[in-house]
């Protein structure tokens, strides 16, 4: 028994069933993305100056990815043309040409996702920002420690004791992910622990066995403290510290574990690409200058002066208006490497190493500063946690990316497994491709709205 109206149109609607279904589905998709776009508008319009974090300028957020985003727009538009041509070839019973155009659609989809993957990797793994206690935002990249192959947000701690939580028994054989998997023993140091009974335990596997046995013999105890035979220096990511708070004599870790000893270094090395002082009350006393030095401040002041003297901007100011984009570019100052990128500044009063021009990467001579943890209010990659803009950006672009992948999988199924249906009833396959093409057009349309809003405004 065949399902009716899969090929022929219904008399009441003039459409075959799948076409009615896809239009109903697209109506629900409009409500989904319409709600997200409305949320974006409310979040952006609701920013209170001086209270909430300023909405970033997309030009500085995305940089060179603006052109890649524009390229992705052209790619999706081309793919929409190709899917129409593929459908038309089926209507003309030219299966070979249908395969060609549908293959081009899938190539466009793959190219789009490759660009998005590169962009996500750049934001999540290579670009970081540090908001200092006075509101200064320093954006840039973490500087790698070439000796230990660690990014610049590692904490160095010399431990004399370790406190282990015994609340979870039976997990000590997996001690690596449980306690010390993220730690790097500096200079090939050996982990040797003296247990409470005087027994020496060497290495993580033996330590795991000892902890498991100790927990089973002492079920009433919740924690046990063991001393290191020799002080051991650890390096680990700041995100592995419970609450991300490092103390002078201890480092609290997850699941109740703790290292005790002395803190050697908790500074963060950042190659500074931009400085944003919108949340700073007194620019002259901003913490940024304590780290970046007078040379960078002079460049910043000159940049600000040039913007304020811009005729268009000045005319708006005289009339009591503002140009939000231009105004933001005053406070968010990109580092002009050609002016003072190679300048070396003496150490700051806050314990940083000052600014030097030995940075690498996209900064091309941007200053590198060592910032004390005590001066950092918040630090992180340009991911969803970094601010409201990044949260809504990743939500909407990731959801759109899922639609691209889903649509590409459906069209790929028609391409690779559609020959049997084509031989049986070419019109049936054409109807299926038409339905898939309607969804693909919607995916393209969403990106046409997403690109200017997220990348240009």
For 243-296, what is each residue's pLDDT tens digit? 667 788 888 876 777 889 998 887 888 888 888 888 888 888 889 888 888 888
pLDDT higher than threshold 80 for residue 25? yes
Using 50, 70 and 90 to split pLDDT, how confident is the model at 98?
A: very high
Higher pLDDT, 70 or 127: 70
Higher pLDDT, 354 or 50: 50
Per-residue model confidence as pLDDT tens digits over 291-336: 888 888 888 888 777 777 777 666 666 666 554 444 445 555 555 4
Using 50, 70 and 90 to split pLDDT, how confident is the model at 352?
A: very low
Count Cβ atoms below 10 Å from residue 166 Cβ, excluding itself: 19
How do 128-132 and 192-194 pair as beta strands? Answer: unpaired
What are the angstrom distances between the C-alpha of 378 and each of 22, 64, 268, 381, 386? 45, 26, 12, 10, 9
Mean pLDDT value across residues 54-69: 83
Q: What is the pLDDT of residue 312?
A: 66
Q: Mean pLDDT lowest for which of 112-116, 118-122, 340-344?
A: 340-344
3-state secondary structure 191-218: CEEECCCCCEEEHHHHHHHHHHHHHHHC
Q: Are 210 and 195 in contact (CB under 8 A)?
A: yes
Q: What is the pLDDT of residue 182?
A: 44
pLDDT higher than threshold 70 for residue 115? yes
Please report, to the nearest 10 degrees, the dihedral formed by the alpha carbons of residues 334, 310, 308, 331 taken in order. -20
Q: Which residue has the tokens 């973490």?
A: 142
pLDDT higher than threshold 50 for residue 343? no
Domains by residue range for the chain, with CATH: 17-126+386-456 (1.20.120.80), 130-144+270-382 (no CATH), 154-268 (no CATH)
pLDDT higher than threshold 80 for residue 93? yes
Q: Are 410 and 436 in contact (CB under 8 A)?
A: yes
Mean pLDDT value across residues 431-435: 93
Higher pLDDT, 214 or 358: 214
Q: What is the pLDDT of residue 398?
A: 97
Label residues 7-41 b or e (16+ Cβ within 10 Å = b). Answer: beeeeeeeebbbbbebeeeeeebeeebeebbeebe
């Amino acid at each position: 028994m065949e399902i009716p109206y899969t090929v022929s149109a219904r008399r009441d609607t003039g459409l075959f069933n799948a076409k009615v279904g896809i239009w109903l589905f697209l109506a629900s998709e409009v409500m989904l993305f319409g709600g997200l776009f409305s949320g974006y508008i409310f979040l952006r319009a609701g920013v209170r100056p001086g209270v909430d974090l300023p909405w970033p300028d997309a030009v500085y957020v995305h940089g060179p990815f603006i052109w890649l985003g524009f390229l992705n727009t052209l790619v999706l538009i081309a793919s929409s043309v190709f899917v129409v041509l593929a459908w038309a070839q089926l209507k003309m019973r030219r299966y070979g040409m249908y395969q060609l155009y549908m293959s081009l659609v899938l190539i466009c989809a793959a190219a789009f996702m490759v660009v998005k993957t590169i962009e996500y990797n750049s934001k999540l793994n290579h670009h970081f920002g540090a908001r200092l206690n006075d509101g200064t935002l320093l954006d840039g990249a973490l500087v790698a420690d070439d000796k230990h192959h660690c990014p610049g947000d590692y904490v160095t701690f010399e431990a004399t004791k370790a406190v282990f939580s015994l609340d979870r028994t039976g997990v000590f054989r997996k001690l690596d992910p449980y306690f010390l998997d993220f730690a790097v023993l500096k200079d090939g140091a050996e982990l040797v622990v003296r247990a409470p009974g005087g027994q020496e335990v060497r290495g993580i596997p033996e330590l795991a066995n000892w902890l498991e046995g100790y927990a089973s013999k002492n079920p009433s105890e919740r924690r046990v403290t063991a001393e290191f035979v020799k002080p051991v220096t650890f390096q680990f990511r700041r995100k592995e510290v419970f609450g991300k708070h490092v103390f002078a004599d201890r480092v609290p870790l997850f699941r109740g574990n703790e290292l005790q000893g002395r803190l050697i270094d908790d500074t963060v090395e950042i190659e500074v690409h931009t400085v944003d002082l919108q949340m700073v009350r007194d620019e002259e006393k901003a913490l940024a200058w304590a780290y970046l030095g007078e040379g960078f401040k002079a460049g910043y002041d000159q940049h600000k002066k040039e913007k304020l003297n811009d005729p268009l901007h000045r005319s708006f100011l005289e009339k009591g208006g503002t140009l939000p984009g231009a105004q933001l570019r005053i406070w968010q100052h990109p580092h002009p490497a050609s002016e003072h990128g190679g300048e070396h500044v003496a150490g700051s009063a806050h314990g940083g190493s000052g600014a030097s021009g030995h940075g690498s990467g996209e900064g091309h001579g941007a200053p590198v500063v060592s910032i004390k943890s005590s001066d950092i209010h918040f630090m992180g990659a340009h991911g969803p946690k970094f601010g409201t803009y990044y949260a809504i950006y990743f939500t909407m672009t990731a959801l759109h990316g899922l639609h691209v992948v889903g649509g590409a999988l459906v069209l790929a199924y028609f391409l690779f497994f559609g020959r049997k249906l084509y031989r049986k009833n070419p019109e049936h396959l054409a109807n299926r491709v038409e339905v898939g093409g309607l969804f693909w057009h919607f995916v393209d349309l969403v990106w046409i709205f997403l690109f200017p809003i997220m990348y240009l405004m």
